[in-house]
Structure 1
Amino acid sequence: MSLEAISGVLLRAADLHGSVTDPGMESMNFLNEVVGRFPDAISFAPGRPYEGFFETSQVFDYLKAYTEYLANDLGYTESQVRTNIFQYGRTNGHIHGLIARTVLNDEGIEVDPQAVVVTVGCQEGMLLTLRALFAGPDDVLLVSSPCYVGITGTATVLDIPIHPVPEGPHGVDPAAVAAAAAEVRATGKRPRAMYLVPDFANPSGSSMPVSAREELLRVAEQEDLLLLEDNPYGFFLREGNPRPTLKALDRGKRVIYLGSFAKTGFPGARVGYVLADQPVESADGTVGLLSDSLSKIKSMTTVNTAALSQAAIGGMLIQADCRLRDANTQAIAFYRNNLQTVLDQLEHHFPPEVRTPLGISWNAPEGGFFLVVNVPFPANDAALNRAARDYGVLWTPMNYFHHDAEGDYQLRLSCSALDPDTIVEGMTRLASFIKDTIQS
């Protein structure tokens, strides 16, 4: 739009919050724009669930199950059921008891239902938690690097400084966390909390061994750090056995657990939660829970999480007997096969005698939705555009997730949204793109 065509007030980007012009905030918009421009391209970009699992009728079944639960199990009158579904409701949510039962069954996490905050997706949980914990400009958030853009973007919006902690092939090294905390303190600031995804991280797919999790809890105690554990992918193993979450191992209430039903249920509900059972002492000496503090902030942001969405997720939990791991048996097998198919196709198109001269390599995550391919050319927006336009395949540049140049020659592949046959075709297109780009 030209300035000549504008009438009325003209706002200057320089007068808006810095997050509006931050290049890091543009990555997902660019990706969405590319997807829209090339709708026929096979996309390994989104970490969204496979739509073949969803039936429209399920939502109505969930709502029915939830209203029957309110009436039969909780003894609600017809009027109380109606109010629960149609009105604003409790700020911290009304399915907190069901969530507490579910995390106990699935993860062995024991938490008071009053410590559960039901949020508008996990993203709101991040915002509430960061806003509550970070009191001033000297409080710094440590993040794994590479890191999910949702948390770094939220920190940018809230003017919270971040300090990256390099991630290795087995996730975050506790010694690196301790070193990062020392570096922050050396500048006169306070390392307040560390955000990480211990199981099959987005974007790298890395997963922390149990011994490293236990050591990280010791480091958190030593450095007076809170740990923000995000766990959307923990169910989806390709090999091995489930590992205990940091929250399940935590005995000092150092871990604030960020959960979501986007991958284990359906993202359209936009329901997540925070397990915030840390005690908070008020000025008058009374002690409450961190969940109460989050409630105050939530009441001034989203007021409460949509009652209808909570009812749908609540009904899903009831139908699953609050055992989502068992309910996701089909999805676990599907995503395991998808990830293995991607790995098999990489091996097929780039056997050792081919990939070594070309300078191609990749990791082999033990589960989750993502893996990373290393390439000898810049895997940037221009390359993504060319892959979509000329080869009909999409992926995500890893530089979106880094705060240095480490990801400039890497691309992220997500295996979750496609069926196996489409993955095979998509990997053929991707292999052609990579080989042609290297040889051009």
Structure 2
Amino acid sequence: MADTTTPANTTSGALDLGELHGSLTDPVLDAMNFLNEVVARFPDAISFAPGRPSEGTFEPEDLARHLRSYSDHLEQERGWSRDQVRTQLFQYGRTNGVIHDLIARTLANDEDIHVSPESVVVTTGCQEAMLLTLRALFARPEDTLLVSSPCYVGVTGAARLLDIAVRPVAEGAAGPDPDAILAAVRELRAQGRRPRALYVVPDFANPSGASMTVAARERLLEIAVQEDLLVLEDDPYGFFVREGSARPTLKALDRERRVLHLGSFSKTALPGARVGYVVADQEVVGPTGERTLLADQLSKIKSMTTVNTSAISQAVIGGLLVESGYRLREANAAAIDYYRGNLNALLAELERHFPAERRQQLGVEWNRPDGGFFLVVRVPFVADTKALERSARNYGVLWTPMGDFYLDGGGDHQLRLSCSALSMAEITEGIGRLAAFITEQAAEAAAG
């Protein structure tokens, strides 16, 4: 007779965490929830933690205007009937998206990326683009994803959910070093593994703010062809240049279809819409020689996950693209100026509170990104979640510990600052509070 008694160490009806997927005990998956919880507990603290866009130019009535612009586009430019427009907006839609052609036109104008609309998959945020791409590409147990270290937790968390092995490659001041990537590829092959793809944010990376030079981008593409390596390019921050001019994306330089370009409208348009995309123009050859686009294969996976991306969200973004004349970079001119001003203000305040002699005395330093939302401060104490709690409770200022962004250890004495969602007054006050916290912690570290 089978034993149906409840184990003594288990509450009746409860699930054993050890019997759930191993990713649920991974600290990476706890990182964002912890930050949200700290922000909720200290609502009056000035927060340099989130990398979200400013809400300064958003107005509720804009949503109705964007929807009208898109429906007008369908009726006037495409000649659709009212019934066709109604179906487009109210019904389930094409799995790969309904604004793929508008995105392709915008990419051609903004980034000099010229691809067929059929190679664009519209996703529910860029996070889904990552999940679809990883699920499609990583088929064998030996397949390995290379990432920069430090790295955005969204992609490493997605890899963990899918049981994909990840190999970190140390990032330098100018982003990932192509020769270090080449060495990692060869090392993996020597171990019997297959280096399948590299995930990289070439412009103003999250969390480091680092950017690759054009020469490094070209060298990386040479290595990708030479080593049969795919490149997953994530480009949410490329518009937001602080110094110099915009660099070409990897996809714009790609001549061998080695690059899958991941994009999002969260930073450049409307985060609440949760619309992203992936350009997957690689050919896939079937067992009988039939050829399709990788985008078509991603569609199969999407049909079993989100089915399709919200038609209403796509229509809002589509209307915004129509209004911009399919030139989103120009439409973001005011936002580019705003983020440039914020990052310059952040750097100036750090310099004011920590002039050269003082930061040498304390052991404090930071990088100076050419754009984007983030920079990293090195401090002489352990900048972990306990330190963040003290900072929030005693000084009313929040930041992000860097340790969560490293897969191979590191970042214990680093913290990330984001200034994208703050006013100038908040930056000034917040860095003053942060400077007081760092000074106190540095003194305790020196004394202890």
Same fold judged by TM-score > 0.5?
yes
Report the Cα offset of residue 155 of structure 1. Answer: 0.0
In structure 1, what is the Cα distance between the partners aligned to 2:363 and 2:187? Answer: 34
Report the Cα offset of residue 7 of structure 1. Answer: 7.2
**Which one-letter code corresponds to 2:350 in the other structure?**
L
- Once the two structures are overlaid, the 10-residue window that deviates more, 400-409 or 272-281, is 400-409
In structure 2, what is the Cα distance between the partners aligned to 1:380 and 1:261? Answer: 31
Q: Given the alignment of the two structures, is residue 135 of structure 1 paired with residue 139 of structure 2, yes or no?
A: yes
Find 1:423's aligned residue among 410, 424, 427: 427
1:410 paired residue number: 414
Find 1:184's aligned residue among 173, 183, 188: 188
In structure 2, what is the Cα distance between the partners aligned to 1:120 and 1:326? Answer: 24
In structure 1, what is the Cα distance between the partners aligned to 2:11 and 2:385? Answer: 34
Q: Given the alignment of the two structures, is residue 36 of structure 1 paired with residue 40 of structure 2, yes or no?
A: yes
2:4 paired residue number: none
Percent identity over paired residues:
62
In structure 1, what is the Cα distance between the partners aligned to 2:223 and 2:140? Answer: 23
In structure 2, what is the Cα distance between the partners aligned to 1:405 and 1:39? Answer: 31
**Which one-letter code corresponds to 1:418 in the other structure?**
L
In structure 2, what is the Cα distance between the partners aligned to 1:283 and 1:42? Answer: 57
In structure 2, what is the Cα distance between the partners aligned to 1:51 and 1:260? Answer: 17
In structure 1, what is the Cα distance between the partners aligned to 2:200 and 2:15? Answer: 37
Find 2:74's aligned residue among 63, 70, 74: 70
Q: Deviations over 1:190-246 (max 9, x none)?
A: 000000000000000000000000000001111110000000000000000110000
Q: Given the alignment of the two structures, is residue 150 of structure 1 paired with residue 154 of structure 2, yes or no?
A: yes
Report the Cα offset of residue 176 of structure 1. Answer: 0.5
**Which one-letter code corresponds to 1:154 in the other structure?**
A
Find 1:294's aligned residue among 288, 292, 298: 298
Report the Cα offset of residue 283 of structure 1. Answer: 1.1
Find 1:327's aligned residue among 313, 319, 331: 331
Report the Cα offset of residue 404 of structure 1. Answer: 2.6
1:86 paired residue number: 90
Q: Deviations over 1:62-117 (max 9, x none)?
A: 00000000111111111100000000100000000000000000000001000000
1:381 paired residue number: 385
Report the Cα offset of residue 51 of structure 1. Answer: 0.9
In structure 2, what is the Cα distance between the partners aligned to 1:12 and 1:187? Answer: 35
1:96 paired residue number: 100
1:225 paired residue number: 229
Report the Cα offset of residue 8 of structure 1. Answer: 5.0
Q: Deviations over 1:27-82 (max 9, x none)?
A: 11111100000011000000000011211111110000000001111111111000
**Which one-letter code corresponds to 1:263 in the other structure?**
K
1:361-380 to structure 2, matched below 5 A, reads 361-380=365-384
In structure 2, what is the Cα distance between the partners aligned to 1:10 and 1:425? Answer: 47
2:404 paired residue number: 400
| 3-state secondary structure, aligned to 2:56 | helix
Unaligned segments of structure 2, at least 5 residues: 1-6
**Which one-letter code corresponds to 2:275 in the other structure?**
V
| 3-state secondary structure, aligned to 1:129 | helix
Report the Cα offset of residue 252 of structure 1. Answer: 0.2
Unaligned segments of structure 1, at least 5 residues: none
Aligned residues: 437
1:250 paired residue number: 254
Q: Given the alignment of the two structures, is residue 126 of structure 1 paired with residue 130 of structure 2, yes or no?
A: yes
Q: Deviations over 1:391-422 (max 9, x none)?
A: 00000000010013320100000010001111
In structure 1, what is the Cα distance between the partners aligned to 2:68 and 2:436? Answer: 50
In structure 1, what is the Cα distance between the partners aligned to 2:402 and 2:282? Answer: 35
**Which one-letter code corresponds to 2:23 in the other structure?**
S
In structure 1, what is the Cα distance between the partners aligned to 2:96 and 2:409? Answer: 40
Are the counterparts in 1 of residues 90 and 311 from structure 2 also a CA contact under 8 Å? Answer: yes
Report the Cα offset of residue 23 of structure 1. Answer: 1.7
Find 2:119's aligned residue among 109, 115, 119: 115
In structure 2, what is the Cα distance between the partners aligned to 1:151 and 1:403? Answer: 12
In structure 2, what is the Cα distance between the partners aligned to 1:22 and 1:411? Answer: 21
Name the Cα RMSD after superposition: 1.1
In structure 2, what is the Cα distance between the partners aligned to 1:53 and 1:8? Answer: 52
**Which one-letter code corresponds to 2:25 in the other structure?**
T
In structure 2, what is the Cα distance between the partners aligned to 1:266 and 1:435? Answer: 38
Find 1:357's aligned residue among 361, 371, 389: 361
In structure 2, what is the Cα distance between the partners aligned to 1:307 and 1:111? Answer: 23
